[in-house]
């Protein structure tokens, strides 16, 4: 995965330089004048697909809010290079002694009251391709790689412990955007692979085109 990360990074960098020198690629956007860069702030509703099931007595919460910050670079031809930070919040499983659940096809039993939680955030690099539907409305698809950090924690009445993991995986998603001059209102749904299962992130965001 690290070799893939390096390959894609070098490829994206080459595209960016090609778009910024000489004639470059034409910009097909019909959304009015805008700068090469854009800044986006996202509010996310994150759904963890942890793989925990067949729960007896315990309580699971796989939904949490988060946020994202995205810097975009317009490559022309309705193609954007995106670099982002996203916080996915936390999912948790709470249980008391005797409660049971299954994970990965294996049954587990709580032997004391405890909370098992996982939280994650990520740095992402990818490409977004937009398709104009009218003067102000467009849809888009995007995909790329992300380097995430997830933390698995266990908290009981008398002790607590946690362990962290970092890795690279893929992400992909679709969305729609409504343009109001240099400001864009967006809605998107993206899926991120992580070690404890997928995260589905549905977000609403505002983008602002930056002029330099």
Q: Would you say residue 28 has pLDDT above 80? A: no
The pTM is what?
Answer: 0.79
Domain residue ranges in the chain: 2-210
pLDDT average, residue stretch 157-168: 91
What fold characterizes domain 2-210? Porin (2.40.160)
Model confidence pLDDT, tens digit, residues 74-118: 999 999 999 999 999 999 999 999 999 998 889 999 999 999 999
Task: Give me 74's structure tokens.
Answer: 């317009």
pLDDT range class, residue 212, cuts 50, 70, 90 = low
pLDDT given for residue 35 in this prediction: 59
Q: In 163-180, which positions are buried (b, 16+ CB within 10 angstroms) versus exposed (e)?
A: eeeeebbebebebebebe
């Amino acid at each position: 995965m690290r070799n893939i990360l390096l390959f894609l990074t070098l490829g994206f960098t080459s595209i960016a330089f090609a778009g910024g020198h000489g004639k470059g690629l034409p910009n097909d956007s019909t959304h009015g004048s805008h700068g090469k860069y854009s800044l986006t702030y996202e509010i996310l509703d994150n759904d963890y697909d942890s793989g925990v099931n067949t729960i007896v007595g315990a309580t699971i919460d796989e939904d949490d809010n988060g946020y994202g910050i995205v810097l975009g670079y317009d490559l022309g031809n309705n193609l954007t290079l995106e670099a982002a930070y996203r916080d996915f919040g936390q999912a948790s499983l709470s249980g008391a002694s005797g409660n049971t659940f299954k994970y990965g096809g294996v049954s587990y039993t709580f032997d004391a009251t405890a909370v098992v939680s996982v939280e994650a955030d990520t740095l992402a690099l990818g490409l977004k391709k937009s398709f104009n539907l009218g003067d102000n409305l467009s849809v888009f698809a995007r995909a790329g790689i992300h380097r995430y950090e997830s933390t698995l924690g266990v908290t009981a009445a008398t002790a607590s412990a946690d362990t962290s993991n970092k890795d690279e995986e893929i992400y992909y998603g679709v969305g729609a955007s409504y343009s109001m001059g240099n400001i864009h209102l967006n809605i998107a749904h993206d899926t991120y692979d992580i070690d404890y299962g997928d995260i589905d992130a549905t977000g609403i965001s505002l983008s602002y085109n930056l002029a330099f």
